[in-house]
Amino acid sequence: MTYQEEKLFFDQQMQCTITGHDGVIKETDANIFSWKVSTSIYDAHPFFEIIKGFLEIFEQEETTYNFPCIHLEEGKLEKICDVTIKINTKEVVILLFDYSSKYHELNKIAQQKNESVLRAKELELKNKFLIDKEKFKNSFIANINHEIRTPLTSILGFIEVLQKTNLNFEQEELARIIKRQSLHLNSLIEDMVDISKIESGKIKIVEERFLFVNLMEGFQETYSKLAEDRGLAFETYIDPNIQEYLIGDRTRVFQIINNVLNNAFKFTEEGKVSLSVTKNFQRTNKLSVSFKIEDTGLGIHEEDLENIFDRFTRFNRDKQISGTGLGLAIVKDLVDLLNGEIKVTSEPDKGTTFDIKLPFKFEISKAKPEKKKKKYSLPESKKKFRILVVEDEESTQFLIMKILISHGSFFVDVAMNGEQAISYMERRNYDLVLMDLELSKIDGYKATHMIRKNYGDKAIAEVPIIGFTARATEAERDKCLRSGMDDFIAKPFEQEDLLYKIVKQIAKKAAS
């Protein structure tokens, strides 16, 4: 098709322009753009500057260049054209084909397609940002928890020591309040750690065989006493058809039921709280147990029910009722982790019912009795036992010294770090070492490893070592045992627990 034919064919949608090799327009029909004869095509639009390059390499033979979808403007007029440039020895022919409407249609489709891809990428990026933020938050909580637990250990420990001194009534009351508030702070930390563990997937559900009846009797015992103190009734029903031993995560089941019961008592001023445990269904070695916890307490308004499992949600504005607003959020997360279900119904001023269904397994074989905590006593070979406390934090040093010295059966030496501990042990025999894990110079694990490996002297190499740290995790416990320690105790600890573990290790060593 010649350009004259093309012109006829496309009519008004086409513009034909002829220039000399110098770019000056010789002829144009000005169908699309109102270019003038004798002006330069190079001034019409920067696109045409490309012709200069083509002319530089032109060699006698007519050459055609096609450019689809070129945006051309003249003042406010904008067109999207396919452009053909033909160069021969005499002139340059420029053909513009205006496909603006076709390209604008295509533009809409491309816009939609690209936007959806970009939106998906944007969401992906936002999601990554949120995940990173969450990771930072969880590690922040874990670290802050560690930092808070250490001084809290001292506070709780010293209150216990203080309570054993001669206090007048007012002082006793103040000590009691400090203890209550410290325990509350401790439970808040534990709740926060639980939430962060659940979120970061660090809570592993364990399947252990446990005495289910025993767990339920524990609730009966604890809450009957609380009910009595509060002037409430506590009714329980345990379905006798439920197996004595079940397989499941005892700790998490305890945490769920305990949290809900605790909540029920907190918000019930008169009437009763009841716990009813029934078998939901049983198939082969699996069963579903339903725990129904009802109270005659304050109740919850219907509009609040949908938010009941949200974090930091507290509907009751009564500041006398303490709480973190995390308890039920943890319950919901744990129930989900155990693949259970939780439902709540409530009526203001009448009470609330929580219905929890949890799956368990059971062994078809015969049940074995559960082990009881063994009792230990210090050997009679000595009147006093020498303990080395390796701790760099002054208040914790002082607290442990107080506990051990008040007991009356121990001499206590204190080392500030692993290096000092080893030098003390080379000079004196110890019956036990209490080793903090985060120490300067040589940390607790390394010091333990050195004690176990580097000494032929059994008095040093085989001394019982108990690790203690604010990082109360299973991984930490495993790490302690792997490094050669005999036991582990998490801060904050109860005096009784610390003494039990010390006596146990000394007794075991004496018996070996």
Partner 1 sequence: MTLSKKVVLLGHFGVGKTSLFRRFVDNEFSEDYKVTLGVQIKKKVVEMPDGRELSMIIWDTEGHTDIEDTRKSYLLGSNAFIYVFDLTRIDTYKDLTKDLEYLAKNHPKVIIKTIGNKLDLVSEKEIQKKFDELNITVDCLTSAKTNKNVQNFFTDLSIEITS
Options 27-35, 60-68, 269-277, 417-425: segment touching partner 1 (CB under 8 A): 60-68
Q: What would the 3-class secondary structure string for 266-322 be?
A: HCCCCCEEEEEEEEEEEECCEEEEEEEEEECCCCCCHHHHCCCCCCCCCCCCCCCCC
Contact 311, 271 (CB under 8 A): no
**Does 71 participate in binding partner 1 (rule CB under 8 A)?**
yes
When binding is defined by CB under 8 A, the residue of 24, 30, 37, 106 that contacts partner 1 is 106
The β-bridge relationship of strands 77-87 and 63-74 is antiparallel
Nearest residue to 143 (alpha-carbon basis) of 392, 399, 395, 473: 473
**Does 117 participate in binding partner 1 (rule CB under 8 A)?**
yes
Q: How many CB atoms lie within 10 A of CB 340?
A: 22
Nearer to partner 1, 68 or 348 (CB): 68
Its sign, for the CA torsion 435, 437, 443, 444, is: positive
**Does 348 participate in binding partner 1 (rule CB under 8 A)?**
no
Q: Interaction with partner 1 in 171-190: which residues (CB under 8 A)? A: none
DSSP string, 157-198: HHHHHHHTS---HHHHHHHHHHHHHHHHHHHHHHHHHHHHHH
Query: At its nearest, how many Å lie between partner 1 and the CB of residue 102?
Result: 10
When binding is defined by CB under 8 A, the residue of 27, 29, 30, 54 that contacts partner 1 is 54
Q: Interaction with partner 1 in 195-224: which residues (CB under 8 A)? A: none
| Amino acid at residue number 233 | A
Q: What is the DSSP-derived secondary structure letter of residue 24?
A: B
Structure tokens, 16: 């034909």
When binding is defined by CB under 8 A, the residue of 34, 40, 63, 66 that contacts partner 1 is 66
Nearest residue to 95 (alpha-carbon basis) of 133, 114, 58, 68: 68
Distance CA 80, CA 74 (A): 12
- For residues 354-384, one letter each, b for 16 or more C-beta atoms within 10 angstroms of the residue's C-beta and e for the rest, the string is bebbbebebeeeeeeeeeeeeebebeeeeee
Query: At its nearest, how many Å lie between partner 1 and the CB of residue 6?
Result: 18
Query: At its nearest, how many Å lie between partner 1 and the CB of residue 36?
Result: 20
Q: What 3-state class would DSSP assign to 350? A: coil
Site string for partner 1, 73-102 (x = CB under 8 A): -------x----------------------
When binding is defined by CB under 8 A, the residue of 70, 238, 490, 510 that contacts partner 1 is 70
Contact 463, 431 (CB under 8 A): yes
**Does 265 participate in binding partner 1 (rule CB under 8 A)?**
no
Query: At its nearest, how many Å lie between partner 1 and the CB of residue 29?
Result: 23
Q: What are phi and psi of 300, to 5 degrees?
A: -130, 140
Options 63-71, 255-263, 316-324, 479-487: segment touching partner 1 (CB under 8 A): 63-71
| Amino acid at residue number 397 | Q
When binding is defined by CB under 8 A, the residue of 8, 30, 69, 206 that contacts partner 1 is 69
When binding is defined by CB under 8 A, the residue of 45, 311, 314, 452 that contacts partner 1 is 45
Nearer to partner 1, 117 or 131 (CB): 117
Nearer to partner 1, 51 or 264 (CB): 51
The crossing angle, in degrees rounded to 10, of helices 327-337 and 250-266 is 150
**Does 118 participate in binding partner 1 (rule CB under 8 A)?**
yes
Number of residues that bind partner 1 (CB under 8 A): 27
**Does 127 participate in binding partner 1 (rule CB under 8 A)?**
no
Distance CA 392, CA 417 (A): 6
Nearer to partner 1, 66 or 423 (CB): 66
Query: At its nearest, how many Å lie between partner 1 and the CB of residue 71?
Result: 4
Query: At its nearest, how many Å lie between partner 1 and the CB of residue 42?
Result: 9
Nearer to partner 1, 50 or 215 (CB): 50
- 190 forms beta bridges with none
Q: Interaction with partner 1 in 275-294: which residues (CB under 8 A)? A: none
Contact 257, 379 (CB under 8 A): no
Options 117-125, 331-339, 400-408, 445-453: segment touching partner 1 (CB under 8 A): 117-125
Nearer to partner 1, 66 or 285 (CB): 66
Q: What is the DSSP-derived secondary structure letter of residue 46?
A: G
Query: At its nearest, how many Å lie between partner 1 and the CB of residue 121?
Result: 5
Nearer to partner 1, 44 or 335 (CB): 44
Options 111-119, 172-180, 328-336, 476-484: segment touching partner 1 (CB under 8 A): 111-119
Options 109-117, 149-157, 370-378, 407-415: segment touching partner 1 (CB under 8 A): 109-117
Helix (H) or strand (E) holding 3: helix 3-10
Q: How far is residue 464 from each of residues 219, 459, 492, 504, measured CA to CA in Å?
A: 36, 10, 21, 10
Report, in this order, helix, strand and coil percent for the chain, each rounded to 5: 45, 25, 30
Options 39-47, 345-353, 388-396, 403-411: segment touching partner 1 (CB under 8 A): 39-47
When binding is defined by CB under 8 A, the residue of 24, 29, 67, 77 that contacts partner 1 is 67
Nearer to partner 1, 107 or 429 (CB): 107
Nearer to partner 1, 106 or 177 (CB): 106
Options 41-49, 140-148, 199-207, 430-438: segment touching partner 1 (CB under 8 A): 41-49
Distance CA 327, CA 342 (A): 14
Q: Which positions touch partner 1 (CB under 8 A)?
A: 45-47, 49-50, 52-54, 65-71, 80, 103, 106-107, 110-111, 114-115, 117-118, 121, 125
